[in-house]
Amino acid sequence: MDTVQIFDTTLRDGEQSPGFSMNREEKLRLAHQIEELGADIIEAGFPIASPGDLEATRAVAAEIKGCRVAALARAVQADVDAALKGLEPAAKPRLHLFLATSDLHLKYKLRATREEAFDRIVKMIRFGKAHCEEVEFSAEDASRTDIDFLCEVVLAAIEAGATIINLPDTVGYSTPAEYAEMFRAVRARVGHPEAVLSAHCHDDLGLAVANSLAAIEGGVRQIECTINGIGERAGNASLEELIVALHVRQNHYQVETHINLEKLYPASRLLSQITGIGVPPNKAVVGANAFAHEAGIHQDGILKNPLTYEIIVPEKVGVPARKLVLGKHSGRNAFRARLAELGYDTTDSELAECYRMAMAQADAEKEIRDRDLVDIILRVRRQSPAPAAAGSGTIAH
């Protein structure tokens, strides 16, 4: 079974998202967590961006030994020099060069011709390769690049020394079918099967994970993603969603990763702790409601067999336990189970009265907490007549 490399760019692309900036110490804490998670490559930063980012990149490169450390640079000499300086302490460095290739970016952003961009790409890859064993090239806005020009650039990048070719959906414009077909076309027309194709997707249309999965079907064997899906604008492909999809549907995708699933939730929580920004409750895999159930039909199914409404058990991804939320949609079986967990075995009549009282309260308060439930069962039992003592009653004549 093929292995898909996981390129974690939380410290670089993720950090560029407003509100997610991290200092040197915070980056180091998270880098160690990502290393423990099992990522193959950690993109530590964009060293030309600031002295602090250069320092943080060097710190990560010096401490992380279990996986590769990458630094980003535009195809500009000053950028490449800064990235190489940031990677100096790395045991396994990767220089990550990029330049836009779409006509839109060339005309309005770079104000350069295709020929000028082509020459810059080849020149900087050759220079980078002379100073770093492993070079990755990203054709920014690849999904909106003319396919003929894109193939020319990819071929030239490989021949100049790049061994990883990343074709990003930079603005989240592509659809899964289009994105997969782009990779198939590039592979068929360029050849060089030894080069690893990589995908980097943004979530502007909510398709980042879907596009990344489609790219794998199109032959990609490296995915660039972030914890909690953070990143520019609407974010990047969510690492935890991607990994769980590949695990649950491994029979379909026929690939594996080196990620330790049980470390997904701890990594998500650490990122939230460092940045002070939590994930939405309905976020897949790591959201507060990802393994929470309120509907009575769902709760009944979960109590009988969790597979009825969960495609992966919460403990598998590091979530401590599922949660059966008691509210107005809950059924009697969920109330009976929770009361039993709290130490109160109930008769059918007690359960019926508890359920009636809880439903009345749930309409007003939305959720019945454990202390509410204990209060209800105690009130029910105070209202009920005490059972007759053994041996008492009228003597038969």
Q: Supply 235's token pair.
A: 């974010």
Strands 93-100 vs 41-45: parallel, antiparallel or unpaired: unpaired
Question: In degrees to the nearest 10, what's the CA dihedral of 327, 283, 57, 198?
Answer: 160
Query: pLDDT tens, 97-114?
Result: 999 999 999 999 999 999
Neighbours of 25 (CB within 10 A): 11
Burial of 347 (0-12, 13-18, 19+ CB in 10 A): exposed
Beta-sheet strands, E only, within 179-293: 196-200, 222-225, 255-256, 292-293
- Beta carbons within 8 Å of 307's beta carbon, 6+ residues apart: none
CB atoms within 10 A of CB 23: 11
What pTM, to 2 d.p., does this model score? 0.90
pLDDT digits (tens, 9 = 90+) for 198-248: 999 999 999 999 999 999 999 999 999 999 999 999 999 999 999 999 999
CB 322 within 8 A of CB 306: yes
Beta strands 292-293 and 255-256, pairing class: unpaired
Q: How many CB atoms lie within 10 A of CB 384?
A: 12
CB 338 within 8 A of CB 326: yes
Model pLDDT for residues 25-49, shown as the tens digit of each residue: 999 999 999 999 999 999 999 999 9
User: What pLDDT band is residue 308 in, cutting at 50, 70 and 90?
Assistant: very high
What are the pLDDT digits (tens) for 136-188? 999 999 999 999 999 999 999 999 999 999 999 999 999 999 999 999 999 99
At 182, list the tokens.
């782009």
Tokens of 46: 């964009």
Q: Is the pLDDT of residue 94 over 70?
A: yes
Predicted pLDDT at 391: 41
Strand extents, DSSP E, 50-205: 68-74, 93-100, 135-140, 164-166, 196-200
**What domains can you pick out in the chain, each with its CATH number?**
2-275 (3.20.20.70), 292-383 (no CATH)
Quote the CA–CA distance of 142 and 346 in Å, as a whole number. Answer: 63
Tokens of 24: 């040197």
| Terminal C-alpha separation, the chain | 83
Question: Do 193 and 183 meet the contact criterion of CB atoms below 8 Å apart?
Answer: no
Q: In whole angstroms, how far apart are CA 72 and each of 92, 96, 173?
A: 15, 5, 23
* Residues whose CB falls within 8 Å of the CB of residue 252, separated by 6 or more in sequence, listed in order: none
Which pLDDT value is given to residue 93?
98
